[in-house]
Amino acid sequence: MVISRKIQVRLNVLFVTVVMISIAVFSMYELGYLEELQTILAKDHYIFYWMLLVGVFAEIVAGSMGMGYGVICTTTLMLLNIPPHIVSASIHSAESFTTAAGSISHIRLKNVSKSLVKKLAVPAVIGAVIGAVSLTYLGEYYAKITKTLIAFYTLYLGIQILSNAFKEKQSKALKRKTNLTRLGVIGGFIDSFAGGGWGPLVTGTLIKNAFTPRFAVGSSTVAKFILTITAAVTFFFTLGIQHWNIILGLLIGGIITAPFSAMLTAKLPVKKMFVIIGTLVIVMSSITIYKSVFN
């Protein structure tokens, strides 16, 4: 029943999105801009279509494991030699919509603790602004160093994801020891600066430290939405909007897949998914590190 309600909410979001996209495409056709749209989609060796596939895959992973969207998108874009600041700006622009759909679902399903959201979101916003401003400067002037550092971080996240497949449940006493303010600031900064990492760090920590999983995932998702909007707006004022083909690909791919992620959550073997995704992120990050250091 819970899954069906969740699917219904996301199907409604999908329907509205499809209608809006259809209206936009028809309007562009009527105004004679459709050829310009086709030119944009064909830019950079048809990267829009590759990002469409990445958006679909990343949303499947995020829907089944509650984390991984930003990590997969970041490692893929870094592998394609996209500048770090453009990577994070593009991902957060697309995630503004996908996390909104997830947040609406969790709120309607009553998976959200308002107090937990406040304790995470306020410091996360501060961390996100600092991270976005820092990346805008470092990503532009020290792109190679920044790219290498982020690749090492995603390598670490890959190892963490892989290790989650073999972790045992933790004692409930750990719940009292969790510093949510510090967790929110660090999570917001890293997610904004590195293009992802909120899920493995924050959601993973909450679940590991004995918070009720449904409230940990739901509250963390809403807090992530707030920090994503903050990061996207910050990048807009510092960088403007660039690489629409990347943003559209990630956005459309994620929204198309989102309504069905609830069904996948119940059917996919989560432990095996941790192993596969963790290994994939480790391999892709290692390739990026090698290319950054030796090229």
For residue 122, pLDDT over 90 is answered with yes
Q: What is the DSSP string of 54-101?
A: HHHHHHHHHHHHS--HHHHHHHHHHHTT--HHHHHHHHHHHHHHHHHH
Least confident range from 33-37, 44-48, 89-93, 246-250: namely: 33-37
Q: pLDDT for 88-119, tens place per residue?
A: 888 888 888 878 877 887 788 788 899 999 99
What is the band of 131 on the pLDDT scale with cuts at 50, 70, 90? Answer: very high
Least confident range from 38-52, 115-129, 167-181: namely: 167-181
Domain extents in the chain: 1-31, 44-294
For residue 153, pLDDT over 80 is answered with yes
Measured CA to CA, the distance from residue 223 to residue 99 in angstroms comes to: 10
Among residues of the chain, what percentage have pLDDT more than 70?
Answer: 74
Q: What is the DSSP string of 157-175?
A: HHHHHHHHTTPPPPPGGGG
Mean pLDDT of 150-172: 76
Among residues of the chain, what percentage have pLDDT more than 90?
Answer: 15
pTM: 0.73
Give me the chain's average pLDDT, please: 78
Looking at residue 247, its pLDDT comes to 86
Q: Is 35 or 120 the better-scoring residue by pLDDT?
A: 120
Looking at residue 119, its pLDDT comes to 93
Q: Where are the beta strands (DSSP E) in the chain?
A: none
Q: Is 36 or 69 the better-scoring residue by pLDDT?
A: 69
Best-predicted range by mean pLDDT among 84-93, 170-179, 250-259? Answer: 84-93
Please count the other Cβ atoms lying within 10 Å of the Cβ belonging to residue 155: 19
For residue 208, pLDDT over 70 is answered with yes
